[in-house]
Amino acid sequence: MATSLTRHGERDALHAFIERGMSDDAGELANLNYWAYWLGHDNLPRSDDAFMAGRAEWDAKALLRSLVGRMSPELGCIDLNVHSVWSLLAARPGALAADHELCRDLKQRVTRLLDGGVVSTRSRRELDAVHYGLKLNAP
């Protein structure tokens, strides 16, 4: 519902969802599991959403690559996308290891978003953390 409302200009619901729906490790994991499923990185058929609560097996680098591709200021749910990238890097810090192209792409997108002024205050903090992490750990 929050993402649908965001497409119609109502961003408060999305910000509340990020703040409350993903306020703990279980919420963060459910979000990443859902993204992996939605973006085709979880190949198992799912009859309900119970999979979101468990430890799913998906390739963190492949998921990160897909999420980085969604870090575009034109997307209405950019704050969710930023949060998901930040969360994935926190959960799986090795996802950027030895992938120069992915690091370069992520850095360009982070810089563009920070300079663009289209993201929330929370997303700016998360982007700052990702940017700092790239400086420290980029291959």
Domain edges within the chain: 2-137
Tell me how far apart the terminal alpha carbons of the chain are, to the nearest angstrom: 39
Query: Do residues 11 and 1 touch, judged by C-beta distance below 8 A?
Result: no
The band of 69, judged by pLDDT with boundaries at 50, 70 and 90, is: very high
Quote the Cα angle for 45-47-64, to 5°: 50
Query: Do residues 69 and 76 touch, judged by C-beta distance below 8 A?
Result: no
Among 36-40, 50-54, 76-80, 109-113, which range has the highest average pLDDT?
109-113
pLDDT in tens, 91-106: 988 888 878 999 999 9
pTM, entire model: 0.89
The band of 139, judged by pLDDT with boundaries at 50, 70 and 90, is: low
